Structure 1
Amino acid sequence: MGCLVTTKTIESILENTLNGCDLSATEGVMLLKQTDPNVKSAIKHTADRLRQRQAGDTVTYIINRNINYTNICEQHCSFCAFRRDANAEGSYWLDWEQILAKATDAVERNATEICMQGGLNPAAKINGLSLNYYLRLVTTIKGKYPQLHLHAFSPQEVQFIAKEDNLSYAYVITALKAAGVDSMPGTAAEVLNDEVRRILCPEKTDTATWLEIVSIAHKLGLPTTSTMLSGHIETPEQQIEHLDKLRTLQQTALEKAYPATISEFILLPFVGQEAPKPLRKRVGRDQPVLEDALLLTAVARIMLGNWIPNHQPSWVKLGLTGATEALNWGCNDIGGTLMEEHITTMAGALGGTCMEVETLQKAISSLNNRPYQQRDTLYHPIATNKAL
């Protein structure tokens, strides 16, 4: 058993972070292992104070739309209820007209961003090249709506294209950026620990490759987000290892003055209701434990906030009530409207697939002294929006 941590020790750790010090990995594990409600309350209070200093009191949101262009995927992640084999029941692959129709709908609903990700479909090629298919996805949207910010293709998709076409990661990212991709989702990170990944996603990119691809994106001027899939088989030590790797990645980008960095951190609690049975049975629950997610949200703010100031919960996974509560535990952003969402919903999430702007605004307004503000993907305020 680990040693017991006294309240005084925790108080000292929290005081140091309020004085501007970075939380060490050892201290982060200590915080995550606390069970005393009073100590958890102190961690929450510290995270909230740091959020106010690092990101302000205004809660931001974005009007965006998801386009999951296919669920046909060659990989078999143990947590994924979204993927299908080609020609299997429930499989789909959007054509160009369907993709453009979704983009048109997004523009008509005042979206500023399209977030586009999908399965790894080996058949998705044009003239024998996967890259050509992905470039066509980009130009189909950007050719008609150049004003939309295209937040597209995870590090896993970049690796897939590079492997399929025998190209370098830098070549793929450069081509996608030139075609109109404006930023890269930091998904497929799951937990950046290869022991965990061998169980969760053995066919996916390993930790070092994920970090390498994101770093290359930063060097090439393509901003990224960052995420963590939490609340399944990982330990507190592995959660902190993940956060520490993200912090180091961001520190490197900033210290080397790369033209792009990580814009935000998003915690993605595991939803297992429709996940494959082996992992669902091992985890032993279908929905996230809000209390655990909130504590990790707070520790993530304390650990990352000096370097990644924008933190967002997932209303899809936690529900809007849970996501709103996360705004008291270190988050400064409530996410986007999405308009449709398939990956988490097919896993059995109860949060819904679309959120109206007015609903997000009302949730934010339920907090004391926390105005709302529409933003773009890179957290610039959109001036036409007025807070209550």
Structure 2
Amino acid sequence: MAPTLDTVLNRALSGADLTPEEGLSLLLTQDLGAIATIRTAADELRSRLVGETVTYVVNRNLNFTNICEQHCSFCAFRRDGDSDGAFWLDWEAMVAKAADGVARGATEICMQGGLNPEAKIDGSSLRYYQRLVSNLKGAFPHLHLHAFSPQEVQFIAREDGLSFPAVITALKTAGVDSMPGTAAEVLDDVVRRILCPEKIDTATWLEIVGLAHRLGLPTTSTMLCGHIETPDQQITHLDRLRTLQQQAVQQQTPTRITEFILLPFVGQQAPKSLRRRVGRDQPILADTLHLTAVSRLYLGHWIPNHQPSWVKLGLAGATEALTWGCNDIGGTLMEEHITTMAGAQGGTCLTVATLQDAIATLERPHQQRDTLYHPISEVMTSEVMATESLKLCLPS
């Protein structure tokens, strides 16, 4: 006989790992009363694991190019090199964007770009990426560089004939501080063959993230949801993330997954084939919140920090997610391009005051954090970054 809803939720609240069957049962229920009970349990588990404080990070996006060799069916960002709207920033422009972020209090640059085969120095992709990093780190040594997904690691390795550990180590040495857990989409190869057939497969994504942990590079984790994937495939994705984190703990790796972020599909400007198949342009908030709660319960204490996407859900939707198991509202995301170009309506940047005001509506305290979830003082941050901005302006 299948366990009751109360039995499953009590197991999660006690710290037990839910089975895939139990997680799927939570996702499949359509009873509004049951979903409300799941929400309450997820919020309670959030409170037990990380408390009442809602965190946020002051960060800036730096998408250095949208020229990309791949053709993912959900992506409205990528361009061919000779097409309208294609861009590839030069070194000075990238440092200038970082300087603008620092001037506005950013402690993190989140840096990703298209897979541009022309982005090389002396025939080497790795040298290009190393210089990209060293330019920014040289100008702003205290700025945390959250950069380059597992897909980009594989791309560099393929282009230069290098191993994954060699690429990760070189990027870390150049100044990369953590790796975005993007390009995960859904960790199920049946889905990936439709969404992103040119991308790395599930096993390669897991391999690269696991290597990053063993080599001392923290990562985040994500799921692109609300498109063609089934509830069963959603649970498979969560289970693979949980197993990956469990392996990191068992192997006593120096770093692990720091957070989980749900990224609901925005299809307004997506390629028509997938847009027609999904049948809508914007995320369904109720479905995303339901999955948010189940994700919190399924990942349990293994990945304690959960974040919604205000860019995709809007600030009101993201604030609502803070009552469904999330404890972090994300970042200021100065100059967000990728989701906005897909037709998202959340905007491209929010101020710290706007994030704080949203958190205040829940009557919960707020706290600025760094990328790795250490609390930081806003006064200390402004002093450090002001000093680095001054150094950048001084003659050499």
Task: Give the shorter-chain TM-score range.
Answer: over 0.9
User: Displacement, 1:273?
Assistant: 0.4
Q: Does 1:379 align with 2:392?
A: no
User: Displacement, 1:39?
Assistant: 0.2
Matches within 5 A, 1:105-254: 105-254=100-249
One-letter amino acid of the counterpart of residue 257, structure 1: Q
User: Displacement, 1:383?
Assistant: 2.8
* Residue 90 of structure 2: aligned partner: 95
RMSD: 1.1
Structure 1 residues 160-199: Cα deviation after superposition (integer angstroms, max 9, x where no partner): 0000000000000000000000000000000000000000
Q: Report SS of the residue matched to 2:166.
A: helix
> Quick check: 187-196 or 9-18, which moved more?
9-18
Q: 1:373 touches 1:385 (CA, 8 Å); kept in 2? A: no
Q: Does 1:338 align with 2:319?
A: no
User: Displacement, 1:140?
Assistant: 1.1
Q: Return structure 1 stretches of 4+ with deviation > 6 angstroms.
A: none
One-letter amino acid of the counterpart of residue 321, structure 2: A
Q: 1:217 touches 1:224 (CA, 8 Å); kept in 2? A: yes
Q: 1:374 touches 1:385 (CA, 8 Å); kept in 2? A: no
Structure 1 residues 260-293: Cα deviation after superposition (integer angstroms, max 9, x where no partner): 1000000000000000000000000000000000
Q: Does 1:278 align with 2:273?
A: yes
Q: Report SS of the residue matched to 1:143.
A: helix
Q: Distance in 2 between matches of 1:291 and 1:84?
A: 33
Q: 1:125 touches 1:133 (CA, 8 Å); kept in 2? A: yes
Q: Distance in 1 between matches of 2:278 and 2:340?
A: 18
One-letter amino acid of the counterpart of residue 352, structure 1: G
Q: Distance in 2 between matches of 1:243 and 1:291?
A: 19
One-letter amino acid of the counterpart of residue 164, structure 2: Y
Q: Does 1:24 align with 2:19?
A: yes
Q: Report SS of the residue matched to 2:139.
A: coil
One-letter amino acid of the counterpart of residue 323, structure 1: A
Q: What TM-score results when the alignment is normalised by the length of structure 1? A: 0.97
One-letter amino acid of the counterpart of residue 269, structure 2: E
User: Displacement, 1:305?
Assistant: 2.5
Q: Report SS of the residue matched to 2:354.
A: helix
Q: Distance in 2 between matches of 1:351 and 1:256?
A: 40
Q: Distance in 1 between matches of 2:186 and 2:50?
A: 25
One-letter amino acid of the counterpart of residue 229, structure 1: L
Q: Distance in 1 between matches of 2:101 and 2:310?
A: 20
Q: 1:154 touches 1:184 (CA, 8 Å); kept in 2? A: yes
Which residue of the other structure, out of 240, 260, 270, is the alignment partner of 1:265?
260
Q: Distance in 2 between matches of 1:219 and 1:299?
A: 28
Q: 2:12 touches 2:300 (CA, 8 Å); kept in 1? A: no
One-letter amino acid of the counterpart of residue 373, structure 1: Q
Q: What TM-score results when the alignment is normalised by the length of structure 2? A: 0.95
Which residue of the other structure, out of 50, 56, 62, is the alignment partner of 1:55?
50
One-letter amino acid of the counterpart of residue 49, structure 1: E
Q: Report SS of the residue matched to 2:338.
A: coil
Q: Distance in 2 between matches of 1:135 and 1:299?
A: 39
Structure 1 unmatched ranges of 5 or more: none
Matches within 5 A, 1:358-369: 358-368=353-363
Q: Distance in 2 between matches of 1:32 and 1:130?
A: 42
Q: Distance in 1 between matches of 2:322 and 2:314?
A: 13
One-letter amino acid of the counterpart of residue 316, structure 1: V
Which residue of the other structure, out of 353, 357, 365, is the alignment partner of 2:352?
357
Q: Distance in 1 between matches of 2:29 and 2:350?
A: 34
Q: Distance in 1 between matches of 2:12 and 2:157?
A: 41
Q: Distance in 2 between matches of 1:381 and 1:179?
A: 25
User: Displacement, 1:385?
Assistant: 6.6
One-letter amino acid of the counterpart of residue 152, structure 2: E
Q: 2:39 touches 2:324 (CA, 8 Å); kept in 1? A: yes
One-letter amino acid of the counterpart of residue 28, structure 1: G
Q: Report SS of the residue matched to 1:26.
A: helix
Q: Report SS of the residue matched to 2:187.
A: coil
One-letter amino acid of the counterpart of residue 156, structure 1: Q
Q: Distance in 2 between matches of 1:352 and 1:155?
A: 26
Structure 2 unmatched ranges of 5 or more: 381-396
* Residue 302 of structure 2: aligned partner: 307
